[in-house]
Amino acid sequence: MSSLSWLDFSEADRQKALDVIDLFREKGTVEELGLGTVRDAIADLLFPGTSTIMTRARYYLLIPWIYLRLEAKKTPSNQIGRAAHRDELALIEALVNEGERQGVIGIQARSNLRRLPSTIYWSGLGRLGIRRYPGGIDGYHRSLDDFYKNGGNVLRGDDGNVVSGGSTRNWDRDLPVAPKQFLDGTSLRLEPLEAEYLRERIIQSAPESVFAFLADRPNETEDVVFPWEHPKLAKMTTKNRSELRHAGNFSLVMFGAALLYNLMLAERKKDRENIDKYATQYRDWCDEMDATSSELSTWSRQDFWALVAATEARISSGTQRFIDAWLDRAILGNPRTLPKSTDARDLITWRERTLKGPLARLVDARALDRWGGASGGSRLDYRWRRPVRDILRDLHEADQE
């Protein structure tokens, strides 16, 4: 069995790699054409502190509460990993006991859960300033013995506020106090003060982001399919509108490459149902390209790549070359001719072979047999539908109480 080594990787790199592994387990979400690095760079810019496999907003509080509870008991470094694992499994039951279902991490796996909520939210907790410990979760566990020795434990008064101790803190001092015995029964519904705290963390940690703008106005998100279609778009800053314009244009144009790839797979497999399905979807995409042709004709690709570069994401030259080649064909050429274009088909085949070598589905019959009929066949939304829209909904519902 192969394993991943985290030497020379930052915590953010580690979390992204784990997210990729989880996405590969989900039907239809495999990033077949290698657009993930660009997608994630834009998603981190728009919605910092999130990841695709997050679910609900209150986990940003539940995880620190679990660890603060263990810190209060001075759980030693060599025991805290097991203790936290136990408590995170107990959290599943605590949520289910209160009738929660949607968004409960581990509700199906229960005691067999492999990816704990703490590992899913760890990077986001740091990005939003809720977690103050600067490293990964394993390093945090190892640091606790010294933390206790150095007097890092914190004393809270009856009102929950810090009154003494805590020269260093692993968690934000303004974190709301955990409900008593929350591991016996709790919900994913944010209390108003919790929502106020989380909103403040989003705004203070990423004040110029689209996420901060929407966190301050969390209503009117329920029926918004893509963030660049948000009804409050006109009230956003010029910077945010520009970011969303780039995000939307990239999502639209590259969707055509995903559709052509799936169409080619269906044709190679002689799957008539999927041939018809993807041919129809491709024609619909062409209609949308026609409707936005004036917008795309003025879209600055130089500005787009400058936006991506500013995120300091590591985009390979092969990825940029493929994207530029597809954009040339789809925007400067006629997208309706691409399914019959040897040049366009060769580009898609080249890209898959570059990524997968001899295991590419377009060249390997056994790999093609494992194709389930959809490979990255949905438009990029940069985490909007999951988890950003759910997080904003949680904030909005707390405001209504």
Residues 6+ apart with CB under 8 A from 325: 347
Check if the beta carbon of residue 356 is closer than 8 Å to that of residue 22: no
User: Is residue 201, in this structure, part of any structural domain at all?
Assistant: no
User: Is residue 395, in this structure, part of any structural domain at all?
Assistant: no
Confidence (pLDDT) at 16: 60
Domain co-membership, 324 together with 371: yes
Domain boundary among 168, 188, 208: 188
Domain co-membership, 145 together with 246: no
User: Is residue 370, in this structure, part of any structural domain at all?
Assistant: yes
Domain co-membership, 41 together with 85: no
User: Is residue 360, in this structure, part of any structural domain at all?
Assistant: yes
Which tokens sit at 156? 């809270």
Check if the beta carbon of residue 27 is closer than 8 Å to that of residue 372: yes
Confidence (pLDDT) at 207: 98
Domain co-membership, 121 together with 175: yes
Domain co-membership, 266 together with 361: yes
Confidence (pLDDT) at 234: 96
User: Is residue 158, in this structure, part of any structural domain at all?
Assistant: yes
Domain boundary among 188, 221, 252: 188
Q: Can you give the residue range of the structural domain that contains 343?
A: 27-52+236-384
Confidence (pLDDT) at 157: 41
β-strand pairing of 162-165 with 154-156: antiparallel
Domain co-membership, 83 together with 179: yes
Confidence (pLDDT) at 30: 45
Confidence (pLDDT) at 320: 98
Which of the residues in the chain have pLDDT under 70?
1-30, 152-167, 376
Domain co-membership, 266 together with 137: no
Domain co-membership, 81 together with 142: yes
User: Is residue 137, in this structure, part of any structural domain at all?
Assistant: yes
Total of domains in the chain: 2
Domain co-membership, 118 together with 48: no
User: Is residue 154, in this structure, part of any structural domain at all?
Assistant: yes
Domain co-membership, 173 together with 276: no
Helices 59-72 and 192-205, interaxial angle, to 10°?
A: 100
Domain co-membership, 80 together with 183: yes
Confidence (pLDDT) at 374: 84
Domain boundary among 158, 188, 218: 188
Question: Please, is 24 exposed, middle or buried when counting C-beta atoms within 10 Å of its C-beta (0-12, 13-18, 19+)?
Answer: exposed
Confidence (pLDDT) at 375: 78
User: Is residue 184, in this structure, part of any structural domain at all?
Assistant: yes
Distance of CA 333 to CAs 180, 296, 329, Å?
63, 12, 5
Q: What is the pTM of this model?
A: 0.89
Confidence (pLDDT) at 150: 86
Domain co-membership, 362 together with 240: yes
Confidence (pLDDT) at 14: 60
